[in-house]
Structure 1
Amino acid sequence: MSNHQKRLSVPNSWPVERKTAVFTVKAGAGPHGEEGVPLLIVLRDVLGYVDSKKEARYALNQGTVLVNGKQVTDERRPIGMFDILSFTERDEYYRVFPDEGGRLALTAIPGDAADSKLGKITGKRSVQGGKTQLSLHNGQTLLFDEDPGYNGGDSLVVSSDAEVVAHFVYEEGALVTAIKGQHAGEIGTIENIEVAPSSASNRVVVSQDDGSFETVEEYVVVIDENFTGGDDE
């Protein structure tokens, strides 16, 4: 199977120019599904730290590049929404966050914020032994001895050792960002959650200082002010 992908066919979230060349690298197996961006693209096209795949492999083999607190050596490792990138030798840390075009972008964060990342709860079920399993948007699963009281749509900030350090409730009044759709990258407060009477997606009205927008529930993630890239970072 080829390790290349045509640039014109990559997801809109990928931060690549589509007309500068025919092919780009294909993401390897891992989290984030087809939306995952190969780490090589981040190192070469976004940050400009390397000029080639060979340079990327050399840099990764130095052991100073971490994704979500873990050393990475595969340049095709998928990078996706809310992942944390650490460049320990440079003392630089970034959170992957959508820009207002829906493309994945990097927001600089302090080093003490690089040990945890945000995940949206996309599934909740009881498993053997009476335990509760939560599934997050990035493929991570968390297991609890008893129901922790977290629900689908809520967001959790999870440390690198899988401990929940913060919980943001999905409810009216919550601060959210849209991660897909026409309003991807926009931030606002949930004004209303319109529950669909059938299997259709619930609709969410998000208010902003200069108006509001409406999108489907699956496209919004609850955050707090520390995730907006503002001065409080």
Structure 2
Amino acid sequence: MTNHQKRLAVPNSWPVERKTDTFTVKADAGPHGESGVPLVILLRDVLEYVDSRKEARYALNHDSVLVNGDAISDEQRPIGMFDILAFVEREEYYRVFPDEGGRLALTPIDEDAAGSRLGKIEEKTTVTGGDFQLTLHDGATVHVDADEADQYSTKDSIVVDNESKEIVAHFTYEEGALVTAVAGQHAGSVGTIDDIDVTLGSGSNTVTIDADDGGFETVEEYVVVIDENFTGDEE
């Protein structure tokens, strides 16, 4: 299996130039599906901390790069929306956040903010014993007790502590909620939900967002509930 990916065919979210070279690094299997960006691309092409995959492997072998609190040794590990990158020796911390146009960008954050990460609930299922499992946008799962499960719904967002893996905050998907668009024409825009228009049948619900630029309308799947700490304005 090839370790290379044609640049012209990479997802729009990848922060790479498409016409400089024919190939770039292919992401390994893992979180975020096809939209996950190989870690080495962020280290080499975005942050310019390394010049090659060899240098990236050396840095990772010293446990100096953490993703969501875990040391990573695979330079092709997929990185995606709302992941937390910590560079221990540099004392630098970043949150992966979509910018205008939907490209993934690195937002500097402080050490306290790097201790947890945001996740959008995509599925809610019952597990053995009667408890519930919440599946997040990147494929990660969180278990909640049966007596707490009613408060969580798909399309809500939760904040998970990177060390304990416990839920430390919960944001409900509803009118008035602060959201960001993560795909589509308005990717990267932030605003509050003004109206949720439920579409009968198999079509997507549409959401009207009140934003500083006058607002916009998009499909429900393209928005994620956040709070002000996730907009990049904290620094």
Normalising by structure 1, report the TM-score.
0.98
Partner letter of residue 47 of structure 1? L
SS at match of 1:42: helix
Asked if 1:221 is matched to 2:224, the reply is yes
**Which blocks of at least 5 consecutive residues in structure 2 are unaligned?**
none
Counterpart-to-counterpart distance in 1, 2:78 and 2:102: 17
Q: 2:215 aligns with which of 212, 215, 218?
A: 212
Quote the residue 2:154 is aligned against.
152
Amino acid at match of 1:222: V
Q: Which residue number corresponds to residue 36 of structure 1?
A: 36
Opposite residue 56 of structure 1, the aligned amino acid is: A
Q: What's the counterpart of residue 203 of structure 1?
A: 206
- Shift in Å at residue 125 of structure 1? 1.7
Shift of 1:209: 2.0
Worse overlay, 19-28 or 208-217? 208-217
Instruction: Give the match for residue 81 of structure 2.
Output: 81
Deviation at 1:130, TM superposition (A): 1.2
After TM superposition, list the pairs within 5 Å mapping 1:88-167 onto structure 2. 88-146=88-146, 147-148=148-149, 149-160=151-162, 161-167=164-170
1:173 aligns with 2:176: yes
Question: 1:128: Cα distance to partner?
Answer: 2.1
Distance 1:185 1:135 in 2: 23
The question of 1:70 aligning with 2:73 is answered no
1:115 Cα offset (Å): 1.4
Q: What do the CA deviations read for 1:197-218 (whole angstroms, capped 9, x no partner)?
A: 1111111111112311111111
Displacement of 1:143 in angstroms is 1.2
Aligned-partner residue type, residue 155 of structure 1: S
- Secondary structure of the 2:215 match is strand
CA distance in 1, matches of 2:32, 2:109: 22
Normalising by structure 2, what TM-score?
Answer: 0.97
Instruction: Answer with 15-24 or 145-154: which moved more.
Output: 145-154
Give the secondary-structure state (helix, strand or coil) at the position aligned to 2:112.
helix
What is the rounded CA distance, in whole Å, between the counterparts of 1:83 and 1:144 in structure 2? 21
Aligned positions, number: 232
Aligned equivalents of 1:171 and 1:93: distance in 2?
Answer: 30
Deviant stretches of 4+, over 4 Å: none
* Percent of aligned pairs with the same amino acid: 69
Structure 2 letter corresponding to 1:188 = G
2:210 is aligned with 1:189: no
Partner deviation per Cα, 1:49-97 (whole Å, 9 max, x = no partner): 0010111111111111000000001100000000000000000000000
SS at match of 1:111: coil
Distance 2:132 2:73 in 1: 33
Q: How far apart in 2 are the matches of 1:162 and 1:138?
A: 15
